[in-house]
Structure 1
C-alpha cells in the first residue's frame, strides 16, 4: 500500500558513515560536528550516524551515505510520513537507513543510489531540494 502524501525533502550536504561501537564506548566531541549526527544506544550496541571524517576509529562502519531530511515538524500523532517516502524506495529495491528526531525523519541512501532515489521520490510527487532550498534535478552533479 502506497500513501499519497506529498512531502518536501532536503538533501543534506555531508557524506555520512553509519557506525557501530560497543555500548560502553567513549565518544569524542568531534563526532558531534557536522550537519547531521544521530546517536542510538542499547544494551547491545552504540550506533552513530555522522560525517565520514568524524567517525570513531574503532567503529565497525559503512561509508558513503547521503541524508534526505523530511521537512517538518510533524505532530507525533501524524501517521504515514516515513511510509510515504520508504514505500516507493522499497518498491524500487533501494536499501535505506532511517533515523528520526523529535520533529521529523531522515532517510539515508547510498551515494551511488542517490540520483535514482531522487528520481523515484520526485515521480511519486515529493519535492527534493538541496540544503540551499533549490529544487534538486534528477542528476546530481
Structure 2
C-alpha cells in the first residue's frame, strides 16, 4: 500500500474541557478541527491560536493528514504511519474521521517524523 500524507499549515492544540461543557464556538474554525465527548471529558483539537486563555490545553502540535478516503475494511493504514514514528521515538495523537486519519506530532519533532515516514516508504508533502 502506498500512502501519501500532507503537513497541514499552522500550530495545533489539544484541549480538555469538562464533560458537560458545550461545544465551544472558538474551536470550530480552520481547515481541521475535531471535537470528541466521552463521559469523562470534552476533547478539542484545533488551531492553537484559537484556544482562549484558561483552557487546559497542550499546544505545539503539527498535523499530518493521510490522503484518503480509505475503506473501513482496509487494515494497517494507521499502523503503517504509527509504526515508523514509534520506532523513531516520536509520540503521537491520532484522530480518525469517516474518510481518513490525522496524526499529530510535536512541532519540534516534525522534521524527524517526516524523515522517518519517508524512510519507511511513505510520501510526505509539506504544505506547512
Select the residue among 114, 117, 121 that pairs with 1:118: 114
SS in 2 for 1:64: strand
Q: Which residue of 2 aligns with 1:134?
A: none
CA RMSD of aligned residues (A): 1.3
Tell whether 2:75 aligns with 1:86.
no
After superposition, the C-alpha distances for 1:70-110 in whole angstroms (9 at most, x for unaligned) are 00000111110000000011011110100010000000000
Select the residue among 36, 39, 46 that pairs with 2:35: 39
Tell whether 2:102 aligns with 1:106.
yes
Check conservation: 2:16, 2:43, Cα contact below 8 A: yes
Consecutive unaligned residues of structure 2, counting only runs of 5 or more, are none
Return the TM-score normalized by structure 2. Answer: 0.94
- Cα drift, residue 6 of structure 1: 2.4
Return the TM-score normalized by structure 1. Answer: 0.86
CA distance 1:23–1:58, shift in 2 (3 Å): farther
Tell whether 2:19 aligns with 1:28.
no
Consecutive unaligned residues of structure 1, counting only runs of 5 or more, are 132-139
Structure 1 runs (4+) greater than 4 angstroms displaced: none
